[in-house]
Amino acid sequence: MLAGYGERSPEQVRERIDSLELAWLVHQVEQRHGRMLDLDDDVLMRMTTVTGAVEALAEVLAEPAGD
């Protein structure tokens, strides 16, 4: 998904996620899953790497919408 930001290949995506990439990623996940994500600061701090973002988003998306 991050490769779509800036039209990169997946190999060009770095492990570290900057703030613009994070905002874009959250927006893309919201669009794809049809729900708004209310991410607190602790979750956002975990999402500074691709690995952290995958883990955090998996947890958030596993929760029922609205909780």
Give 17-42 pLDDT, tens digit per residue: 999 999 999 999 999 999 999 999 99
pLDDT at 14 over 90: yes
Q: Which residues, including other chains, have CB under 8 Å from residue 39's CB and lie 6 or more apart?
A: 26, 47, 56, 60
Specify burial of residue 44 (Cβ count, 10 A radius: 0-12, 13-18, 19+). middle
pLDDT at 56 over 80: yes
Specify burial of residue 47 (Cβ count, 10 A radius: 0-12, 13-18, 19+). buried
